[in-house]
Amino acid sequence: MDQFTLPDNQLLGEEQTEAEELPVISQRIQDIIEVLNNFKELGDHERGRSAYVEQLIKDMAVYYGYSEFLLEKLFNLFSVSEALEFFEANEVPRPVTIRTNTLRTRRRDLAQALINRGVNLEPIGKWTKVGLTIFDSTVPIGATPEYLAGHYILQSASSFLPVMALAPQENEKILDMASAPGGKTTYIAALMKNTGIIFANDSNKERTKGLVSNIHRLGIKNTVVCNYDGREFPTVLGGFDRVLLDAPCSGTGVISKDQSVKINKTEKDFILLPHLQKELLLSAIDSVDAKSSKGGYIVYSTCSVTVEENEAVVNYALKKRPNVKLVPTGLDFGKEGFTNYRGKIFHPSLKLTRRFYPHVHNMDGFFVSKFKKFSNKYELKRKNDDNDHKDLINKYELKRKNDDDDHKVSKTKIDK
């Protein structure tokens, strides 16, 4: 490449960057990445690497339409080149996928029936025996006779993963703590062959309507739908063999579906959301019976890729509940979770958690962890939990009390 010169300091301003043509910004992004990948030979050592990174973040925020705050948070998860791949992948929709309802049909028979209706499809991959990827179709996939008869459900490939990690067994008692719209609940029921009992809970009563609809359409007979704040468990009900918590999150793994995430997430979200997630995870752990003959497992997952909502939450639970440990998820692909990140050191067992990225696995960004509870004896009064995190929230509120209040965050109802 020709020698690239970083713009002068006056060009680092946001107004100047926004005024430039996108092709100019795109070319500068490519040039800066090339310099950063070989900084020793190509970089301006007087300006330093940080000046290039600062300009790159500003340019990427404008080019891809993110707030600088969120773009920098996501950028820091990857190497420079991989960060570009991640942001590019978020601009492309993920493939449409469906899950075969094995209570009603087999994948082979379903595939043939849909092919006969003009659907172009193929299996998602070797890791699932029930998923199909839909490339194109001459009929609406959500209105075929097979769909209406409950032979399949439209479900993202990434949401298969927490259920596979949970590995429910027949005749167990299971809690899906945040279950709407029901893709994971109905997958659990299928794996249990309609035996045992599932409590499908969701804190949002309106969302339970779609949950009930899917349960009926797919022929699920072992499920009780309930509407509680997940933090009320196990007071409401406990003694479960397994609990799945696919927690409310920022949605940074599903930006390709919801572009509004790019600009509507603030620093406050990444304080309040992890606080809620920590409370829910402690409730999930407390709801499981360690004496379960086959179970005693908790799966915590999110459709977010941020460390604050994933490894930091899991690490917190390990500290607060020494009666649990992380175990392998049983998923034979995905990247290992972080054991250290930007100066934060996590428990070494965090390497057993799994991360999934759109640019690597061609599915929504996702995080999956699996706990084994080995004792019921440990008890901790709930009122004493999270004091350290509440202190952080109080300090934040004090710092921001005069800030603009236009952006409101719900602490308990965050739709993915």
Which residues are part of a known binding site for S-adenosyl-L-methionine? 178-184, 202, 229, 246
Catalytic annotation on 249? no
- How many Å apart are CA 137 and CA 114, to the nearest integer? 9
Per-residue exposure over 88-105, b if at least 16 CB sit within 10 Å of its own CB, e if not: ebbeeebebbbbbbbbbb
Choose, from 303, 312, 317, 326, the residue flagged as catalytic. 303
**Residue found under tokens 């009122």:** 383
- How many Å apart are CA 322 and CA 325, to the nearest integer? 7
**Residues annotated within a binding site:** 178-184, 202, 229, 246
- How many Å apart are CA 32 and CA 80, to the nearest integer? 10
Where in the sequence numbering do the catalytic residues fall? 303
